[in-house]
Amino acid sequence: SNGVPDAKNLRVKLVLLGDSGVGKSCIVLRFVRGQFDPTSKVTIGASFLSQTIALQDSTTVKFEIWDTAGQERSCPCQQRLELPLELQKHGSPDIVLALVGNKADLHENREVPVQDGMDYAEKNGMFFIETSAKTADNINQLFEEIAKRLL
């Protein structure tokens, strides 16, 4: 106990999935170390990092983060379509799914309209957020939102 009444300490397992190059490792690096690496190397296998955040109500949440390799999936496009369904079927019932549109700083290169992201997330029981690991935009909010939905 840390002596604070009503304090809760949660431990959360978090897995990042997505095609190679979308910025999964950079999102984690930004969240955990506050840094951005423009020369980020592809992840081999998976890497593990953890980071603890404090919410306003004296709850602390420790994220145990698995940053997976996007290159390993044999058919990324198919996996992307099946993933939310598979996780909801086989995953823990209190799972929180977030659909993250990263590289939001590259406005002129946008490929997915915001509304498409929102619609897809809504249909699949996820929440949607656009982030930039480069500018740090919405990175902390992403993890805070996951934590809030688990409380």
With CB under 5 to 8 Å by kind, the binding choice for 132 among Mg ion, ligand GTP, none is ligand GTP
Taking residues 102 to 121 in sequence order and writing x for each that binds ligand GTP by CB under 6 A, - otherwise, the string is: xx-xx---------------
Among 40, 59, 60, 140, binds ligand GTP (CB under 6 A): 40
- The gap between the terminal CA atoms of the chain, to the nearest Å, is 18
Is 23 a residue that touches ligand GTP (CB under 6 A)? yes
Where does this chain bind Mg ion (CB under 5 A)? 24-25, 43
| Strands of the chain, DSSP E | 9-16, 46-54, 60-68, 98-101, 127-130
Helix (H) or strand (E) holding 143: helix 139-150
Which residue stretch of 20-28, 56-64, 75-83, 120-128 sits at the interface with ligand GTP (rule: CB under 6 A)?
A: 20-28
Q: Are 149 and 125 in contact (CB under 8 A)?
A: no
Nearer to ligand GTP, 55 or 73 (CB): 73
Provide, rounded to whole angstroms, the least separation between the CB of residue 136 and ligand GTP.
9
Provide, rounded to whole angstroms, the least separation between the CB of residue 72 and ligand GTP.
8
Structure tokens at 23: 């910025």
Q: Are 33 and 136 in contact (CB under 8 A)?
A: no
| Distance, CA of 66 to CA of 38 (rounded, Å) | 21
Structure tokens at 89: 């079927």
Binding site for ligand GTP (CB under 6 A): 18, 20-26, 37-38, 40, 42-43, 69-71, 102-103, 105-106, 132-134
